[in-house]
């Protein structure tokens, strides 16, 4: 999964962090394995972007419909006049793809190394173990910084790249590459949303099924089962 801050500046980055914690807690409640791959933090504790992998039974089935633009309406901590702000974050859900499914030409890769920005210990921060890969034919850039060795980070970055190339190929084959990408990521504008998290009204609304739930705090704490269940029933119809 990949979460990116959209419209709303620092508040959008904080919301991206909230969504990350929501999915992490949900994954742990499900007994799934959870591993951060890459992230770009902000000074106030948010994320410009964060990429992580989740592994376990029915992961893709339960989380596939989380992809899209998520919108939050709340009063930011930095807001002094008490006004409600609207911000967004985008969520992408990519399946892990086998090497045999997507062949990558090494000559198409531009690989660079950098120091991890994370709390991975002295070894991680003093040595350039983090890896960034640019796929020259498509311009796709991926990175991994949470593993302790350069080789492990390279392997993880290639996994992300493989998934993104596979997704692009699937979209192209279906003839909907532009439309599908817009549906999943959008332009992170406030109007392009699949779900709204309204804090003043303590309500989460999924606009695809036109249904709302209360107990927003519980949902942000990883209690996503009721939402996932409704979305699963709709997708099976």
DSSP string across the chain: -EEEE-SSHHHHHHHHHHHHHHHHHHHHHHT-EEEEEEEEE-TTS-EEEEEEEEESTTHHHHHGGG-EEEEEEE--TT-SS---EEEEEEEE------TTTS---GGGEEEEEE---SS--HHHHHTT-EEEEEETTTTEEEEE-SSSSHHHHHHHHHHHHHHHHHHHHHHHHTT-HHHHHHHHTTT--TTS-SEEEETTTTEEEETTTTEEES-HHHHHTT--HHHHHHHHHHHH-
Q: How confident is the model at residue 178 (pLDDT cuts 50, 70, 90)?
A: low
Predicted structure pTM score: 0.77
Tokens representing 24 are: 């992490």
Binning pLDDT at 50, 70 and 90, where does residue 168 land?
A: confident
Split at pLDDT 50, 70, 90, the class of 171 is: low
Q: What is the pLDDT of residue 176?
A: 52
Band the pLDDT of 150: cuts 50, 70, 90. confident
pLDDT in tens, 63-72: 999 999 999 9
Among 116-120, 128-132, 230-234, name the one with the lowest average pLDDT: 116-120
**Domains of the chain from N-terminus onward:** 2-98+178-225 (3.30.70.1660), 106-173 (3.30.160.20)
Query: How do residues 37-69 score in pLDDT, each as one tens digit?
Result: 888 999 888 999 999 999 999 999 999 999 999
Lowest mean pLDDT among 10-19, 124-133, 200-209, 219-228: 124-133
Instruction: For residue range 77-107, list pLDDT tens digits in order.
Output: 777 788 899 999 999 998 887 777 788 888 9
Mean pLDDT of 156-180: 74
């Amino acid at each position: 999964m990949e979460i990116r801050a959209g419209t709303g500046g620092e508040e959008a980055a904080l919301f991206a962090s909230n969504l990350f914690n929501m999915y992490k807690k949900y994954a742990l409640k499900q007994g799934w394995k959870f591993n951060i791959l890459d992230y770009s933090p902000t000074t106030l504790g948010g994320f410009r972007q964060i990429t992580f992998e989740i592994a376990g039974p029915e992961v893709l089935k339960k989380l596939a419909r989380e992809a899209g633009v998520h919108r939050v309406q709340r009063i930011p901590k930095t807001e002094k006049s008490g006004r409600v702000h609207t911000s967004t974050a985008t969520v992408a859900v990519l399946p892990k793809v086998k090497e045999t499914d997507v062949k990558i030409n090494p000559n198409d890769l531009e690989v660079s190394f950098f120091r991890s920005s994370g709390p991975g210990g002295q070894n991680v921060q003093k040595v350039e173990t983090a890896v960034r890969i640019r796929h020259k034919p498509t311009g796709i850039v991926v990175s991994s910084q949470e593993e302790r060795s350069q080789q492990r980070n390279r392997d993880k970055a290639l996994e992300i790249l493989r998934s993104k190339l596979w997704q692009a190929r699937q979209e192209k084959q279906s003839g909907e590459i532009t439309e599908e990408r817009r549906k999943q990521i959008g332009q992170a504008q406030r109007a392009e949303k699949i779900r709204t998290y309204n804090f003043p009204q303590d309500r989460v609304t999924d606009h695809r099924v036109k249904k709302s739930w209360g107990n927003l705090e519980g949902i942000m704490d990883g209690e996503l089962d009721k939402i996932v269940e409704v979305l699963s029933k709709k997708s099976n119809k």
